[in-house]
Amino acid sequence: MLAKRIIPCLDVKDGRVVKGVNFVNLRDAGDPVELAALYDREGADEIVFLDISASVEGRATMEEVVRQTAGEITIPFTVGGGISRVDDMKRILRAGADKIGMNTAAVLNPQLITDGARSFGSQCVVVAIDAKYNKAWGEWEVYTHGGRTPSGIRALAWAKDAERLGAGEILLTSMDADGTKDGFDLQLTSAIVDVVGIPVIASGGAGRKEHFYDVFTEGKADAGLAATIFHYKEIAIPELKRDLKDRGVEIR
DSSP assigned state of 123: G
186-195 and 209-217 helices, crossing angle to 10°: 30
Counting every residue, how long is the chain?
252
Residue 207 has φ and ψ, to the nearest 5°, of -135, -25
- The yes-or-no answer on residue 11 being catalytic is yes
Residue 87 CA neighbour count, 13 Å, CB half: 0
Please answer whether residues 83 and 62 qualify as being in contact, where contact means their C-beta atoms are separated by less than 8 angstroms. Answer: no
Catalytic entry in 11, 40, 45, 51? 11
- The yes-or-no answer on residue 130 being catalytic is yes
The CA-atom distances, in angstroms, between 170 and each of 23, 116, 126, 189, 200 are 19, 15, 6, 11, 5
DSSP assigned state of 9: E
Which H helix or E strand runs over 83? Answer: none
- Taking the CA atoms of 233, 34, 40 and 99 in sequence, report the sign of the dihedral they define: positive
Catalytic entry in 40, 88, 130, 185? 130
Closest by CA position to 194, among listed 156, 148, 139: 156
Largest interatomic CA distance in the chain? 48
The C-alpha atoms of residue 28 and residue 50 are separated, in whole angstroms, by 14
* Amino acid code (one letter) for 189: T
What residues act catalytically?
Answer: 11, 130
